[in-house]
């Protein structure tokens, strides 16, 4: 009857029992839909990695780690180079999967997912020796004569759990950091971006050393089973509710965690801002990936003196970027799932639509939408929007904007647009956020020299560049006496 059943961690179509669905020929199944392409839909939910296999998977990785396989720099370099090759050889498959999951335009997917991974990993390869070298530090007089150093060591077996919005980058960049630091890694992509998960699951074992680097597909049951295992670090990206579940599970084994969460990232627009540039930079950062970016501007606090010119310029920027009807634009993405589409539609009730507002359930299209007359008690202003809706609120002073922001949980990102330096300095001094871009949006996360992460409700720990490798190392302090 074409039913699917997990076998040795791989789903098999029972009708074609001899052929694993992946990666062999025509018997490939659409993950999670329970559909084997040649056999058609089935009635059994597909479980690619049954929870009872997960203990074995982690135990294999632990044995490999303990054997010392992952420690030599040569092994790490080989794996990182294979990762780059995986990205470069399979660009078309990745682009197609991103399109299927999120309607991601090719260029957008290339820049934000594919090239982002290769550039981070290439930097790791280039700096592998440097970032893994012991660091000499001074010795105090009381301990002399002696030599003091910090010796970087891998942590052990690391779990990386990723969400669906940048499903390649958010999985592979932290995993690469863990590999560069000499760890064994389990990667868990999001089941919500199922097409990308499927491609990753097919390619990772083909390119990387399976005894040390494994990818486990699945949703809540698989992640729950993984969290029951003992890891030496857990790196989680996603929402704060699950972040709390991850941290609670990690506490059982005293496992350190990095939590890359989200929240409502505000934008302050001062009356001294260059309104046209401001509008264009906000439009880019907001409607990239149809607003499904953790650091996308969530709401705007604009000085009332420039509110109308800002709205006019925002309207023009939308038309410039996506044409008169963004639904027909090749540069505009789609909402990831019907659930998120419905959620965003209902969030629209929190204000009056002044730009956009059109939707199409079938293609999960939500237009770039700007809302005014916002109800402060609505879900629109109390939940992370994580979609293409942008509430605009008038303010009369910098102090009012700062008070508004500091009365709420610490955001993942905060943006201020002002030509007046004292306004910028006041915002920098009196607010906090995971990271900030001044007179721009999103750009701080593109720098490998600026650790990317949150604070308080928006998370803990940062990565990218060297910090993305340090995160997975223990800098062992050693004092050697003569």
Annotated catalytic sites, by residue? 260, 294
Rounded to 10°, the helix 220-227/240-251 angle is: 30
Quick note: the x/- pattern for ligand NAD over 378-397, rule CB under 6 A, is: ------x-x-----------
Strands (E), 166-256: 184-188, 213-215, 233-237
Quick note: the x/- pattern for ligand NAD over 309-348, rule CB under 6 A, is: ----------------------------------------
Tell me the C-alpha distance between 78 and 212, whole Å: 13
Q: How far is the CB of 170 from ligand NAD (least distance, A)?
A: 6
Tokens 């390619």 identify what position?
203
Tell me the C-alpha distance between 180 and 73, whole Å: 8
User: Interface residues for ligand NAD in 262-291 (CB under 6 A)?
Assistant: 262
Quick note: the x/- pattern for ligand NAD over 215-244, rule CB under 6 A, is: ----xx--xx------------xxx--x--
Cis preceding linkage at 23, omega within 30: yes
The secondary structure of 135-165 as a DSSP string is: EEE---GGG-SEEEEEEEEE-SEEEEE--SS
Nearest C-alpha neighbor of 257 from the set 267, 248, 266, 270 = 248
User: Interface residues for ligand NAD in 104-163 (CB under 6 A)?
Assistant: 161-163
Tell me the C-alpha distance between 364 and 345, whole Å: 10
Select from 459, 461, 465, 468 the one that contacts ligand NAD (CB under 6 A): 459
Considering the complex, state which of residue 188 and residue 286 has its C-beta at the smaller distance from ligand NAD: 188
Backbone torsion region of residue 259, taken as left when φ is above 0, otherwise alpha when ψ lies between -120 and 50, otherwise beta: beta
Q: Are 276 and 313 in contact (CB under 8 A)?
A: yes
Tell me the residue nearest to ligand NAD as measured from the CB: 262
Considering the complex, state which of residue 64 and residue 169 has its C-beta at the smaller distance from ligand NAD: 169
Considering the complex, state which of residue 196 and residue 398 has its C-beta at the smaller distance from ligand NAD: 196
Only one of the segments 88-96, 118-126, 183-191, 324-332 lies at the binding site for ligand NAD (rule: CB under 6 A); that segment is 183-191
Does position 350 bind ligand NAD by CB under 6 A? no
Q: Are 333 and 316 in contact (CB under 8 A)?
A: no
Does position 190 bind ligand NAD by CB under 6 A? yes
What residues form DSSP beta bridges with 4? Answer: 13
Quick note: the x/- pattern for ligand NAD over 401-440, rule CB under 6 A, is: -----------x----------------------------
Considering the complex, state which of residue 13 and residue 433 has its C-beta at the smaller distance from ligand NAD: 433
Contacts of 28 (CB under 8 A, 6+ apart): 21, 22, 36, 37
Considering the complex, state which of residue 13 and residue 192 has its C-beta at the smaller distance from ligand NAD: 192
Considering the complex, state which of residue 316 and residue 343 has its C-beta at the smaller distance from ligand NAD: 343
Q: How far is the CB of 39 from ligand NAD (least distance, A)?
A: 27
Does position 454 bind ligand NAD by CB under 6 A? yes
Tell me the C-alpha distance between 363 and 325, whole Å: 14
Tokens 């499927």 identify what position?
198
Going by the DSSP 8-state scheme, the letter that residue 246 receives in this structure is H
Tell me the C-alpha distance between 223 and 54, whole Å: 9
Does position 257 bind ligand NAD by CB under 6 A? no
Q: How far is the CB of 97 from ligand NAD (least distance, A)?
A: 15
Considering the complex, state which of residue 299 and residue 386 has its C-beta at the smaller distance from ligand NAD: 386
Tell me the C-alpha distance between 355 and 388, whole Å: 11
Residues binding ligand NAD (CB under 6 A)? 161-165, 170, 188, 190-192, 219-220, 223-224, 237-239, 242, 245, 260-262, 294, 384, 386, 412, 454, 459
């Amino acid at each position: 009857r074409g039913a699917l059943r997990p076998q040795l961690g791989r789903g098999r179509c029972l009708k074609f029992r001899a052929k694993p669905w992946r990666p062999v020929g025509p018997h490939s199944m659409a993950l999670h839909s329970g559909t084997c392409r040649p056999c058609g839909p089935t009635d059994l939910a597909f479980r690619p990695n049954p929870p009872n296999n997960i203990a074995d998977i982690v135990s294999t990785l632990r044995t490999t780690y303990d054997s010392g396989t992952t420690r030599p720099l040569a092994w790490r370099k080989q794996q990182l180079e294979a990762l780059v090759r995986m990205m470069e050889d399979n660009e078309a498959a990745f682009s197609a999967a991103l399109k299927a999951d999120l309607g991601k335009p090719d260029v957008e997917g290339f820049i934000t997912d594919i090239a982002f991974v290769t550039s981070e990993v290439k930097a790791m390869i280039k700096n592998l020796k440097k970032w893994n070298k012991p660091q000499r530090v001074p010795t105090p007089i009381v301990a002399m004569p002696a030599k003091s150093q910090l010796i970087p060591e891998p942590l052990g077996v690391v779990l990386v759990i990723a969400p669906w919005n940048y499903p390649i980058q958010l999985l592979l960049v932290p995993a690469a950091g863990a590999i560069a630091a000499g760890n064994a890694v389990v990667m868990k992509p999001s089941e919500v971006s199922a097409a990308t998960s499927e491609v990753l699951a097919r390619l990772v074992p083909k390119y990387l050393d399976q005894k040390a680097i494994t990818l486990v597909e699945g949703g809540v049951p698989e992640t729950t089973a993984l969290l029951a295992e003992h890891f030496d670090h857990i790196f989680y990206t996603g929402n704060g509710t699950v972040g709390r579940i991850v941290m609670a599970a990690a506490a059982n084994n005293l496992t350190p965690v990095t939590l890359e969460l989200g929240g409502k990232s505000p934008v302050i627009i001062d009356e001294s801002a260059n309104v046209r540039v401001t509008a264009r930079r906000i439009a880019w950062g907001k409607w990239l990936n149809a607003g499904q970016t953790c650091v996308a501007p969530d709401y705007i606090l604009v000085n009332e003196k420039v509110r109308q010119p800002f709205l006019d310029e925002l309207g023009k920027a939308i038309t410039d970027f996506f044409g008169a009807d963004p639904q027909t634009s090749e540069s505009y993405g789609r909402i990831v799932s019907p659930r998120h589409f419905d959620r965003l539609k209902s969030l629209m009730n929190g204000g009056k639509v002044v730009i956009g507002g059109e939707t199409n359930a079938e293609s999960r299209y939500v237009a770039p939408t700007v809302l005014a007359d916002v109800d402060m008690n609505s879900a629109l202003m109390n939940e992370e929007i994580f979609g293409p809706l942008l509430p605009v609120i008038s303010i009369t002073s910098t102090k009012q904007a700062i008070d508004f922001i500091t009365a709420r949980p610490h955001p993942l990102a905060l943006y201020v647009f002002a030509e007046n330096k004292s306004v910028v300095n006041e915002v920098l001094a009196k607010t906090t956020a995971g990271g900030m871009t001044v007179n721009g949006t999103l750009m701080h996360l593109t720098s490998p020299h600026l650790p990317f992460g949150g604070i308080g409700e928006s998370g803990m720990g940062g990565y990218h560049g060297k910090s993305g490798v340090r995160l997975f190392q223990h800098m062992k302090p050693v004092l050697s006496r003569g």
